[in-house]
Amino acid sequence: MVRFGIMGFGLHAEKRLAEGFRGAHHARLVALSRREAGRAGESAKRFDVPHAFGSKEELCACPEVDAVIVATPNACHCADTLLALARGKPVLCEKPMATNAAECRRMIAAAQAAHLPLGAAQVFRFHNSVCRLRERVGAGDIGRPIYARAEFCIPGKGHPRRWMYNRALAGGGVLADLGVHCIDLLRFVLQDEVVATDARAVYEENSGDVETAAGLLLQFGGGAWGAVGVSSRSDYRTPAEIVGEEGALLVNPALSLEEPVILELRRDGKVVETERLFNASSFSRMLDGFALAVEGRQPFSCPGEEGLQNQLVLDAAYAAIHARPAFTRHGSVSGPPCVADG
């Protein structure tokens, strides 16, 4: 059993990670940290966690913690990961892994130097729906893929995680938050890498300095084209579709944790086969997967190098967005400066 501490026990940890630990077989939550010791103690009591700390340093120094989950704001991921690795703790870092590729490379280099596992928490790789889509594409059920799309839209106006509206902390808006999931899904399902990227984004007056919608066009090395659409101003929707020379596979909603997921195989415009899948155990599977990697029993499905590949696409997308005037609901204006891969 690998004992975990969560650094930055906020809304995501409360809603998803804590529940994931309840269903895990090889991972146990034993510690958490928050910026205020009092709030850390309240969270620990609420979720029956033995150790609560008001600082990241205390959590990383705790001898009862075998591995750390970094769930702090995106701009803190690099420094917090380096801190945990320096204290001898393997790290599972929330997505996006950092705010630029240079930070990702520093994190990977530190993990390699310390001989410790580093993973990116791209939980949708552990969805039954996504894994099945990958299996069927890989088995040639639709022939050679020629087009792939993924959307992730949520009603995110007024989201309680206010730091997500601050580019200095979030590194970006809905593209960094939701788009990274779509990028990773397409890379994972196609088992291919993005070789070219173009993107546009929409900004609003009440969204701080981050985008509320974005569209990406991706070219993959194997010849397939990909499209990603994200928004925080619509109803929840997460369709994913892979179109091949001999048919198409559609999953909708592809990323739902609560609802059943339907995978359809289509040929000649008709549904010829369906599968009913469930994703409720995805977080537990991710935590167990990283725990087994910490124990040296199997490789983790999304190591830090995969997080870097996603970040390279994000960096290229933001570079494309900021190379031209940004579109807003109130006219065309220049967007905020691009995050450089320093």
Q: pLDDT category, 332, cuts 50, 70, 90? A: very low
Which pLDDT score, from 0 to 100, does residue 170 have?
79
Residues 171 and 234 in one domain: yes
Residues 104 and 145 in one domain: no
Residue 342 maps to a domain: no
Residues 167 and 274 in one domain: yes
Residues 69 and 110 in one domain: yes
Q: Which residues form the domain of 324?
A: 127-279+311-333
Neighbours of 48 (CB within 10 A): 9
Q: Which residue has the higher pLDDT, 174 or 208?
A: 174
Residues 51 and 72 in one domain: yes
Q: What is the pTM of this model?
A: 0.93
Least-confidence region, from 95-104, 144-153, 207-216: 207-216
Which pLDDT score, from 0 to 100, does residue 326 have?
61
* 299 cis-preceded (ω within 30 degrees of 0): no
190-217, pLDDT tens digit by residue?
999 999 999 999 998 777 789 999 999 9
Q: What is the mean pLDDT of residues 56-85?
A: 97
Residues 93 and 167 in one domain: no
Residues 326 and 179 in one domain: yes
Residues 101 and 151 in one domain: no
Backbone angles phi and psi of 220, in degrees to 5 = -100, 155
Q: Where are the beta strands (DSSP E) in the chain?
A: 2-7, 27-33, 51-53, 67-70, 91-94, 118-121, 145-155, 194-203, 211-220, 225-231, 233-237, 240-244, 247-252, 261-267, 270-277, 326-328, 331-333
Distance CA 241, CA 226 (A): 10
Residues 238 and 220 in one domain: yes
Residues 196 and 315 in one domain: yes
Domain count of the fold of the chain: 2
Q: What is the CATH number of the domain that holds 177?
A: 3.30.360.10
2-13, pLDDT tens digit by residue?
999 999 999 999
Q: Which residue has the higher pLDDT, 123 or 332?
A: 123
Residues 87 and 139 in one domain: no
Per DSSP, 195 falls in state E
Residues 151 and 262 in one domain: yes
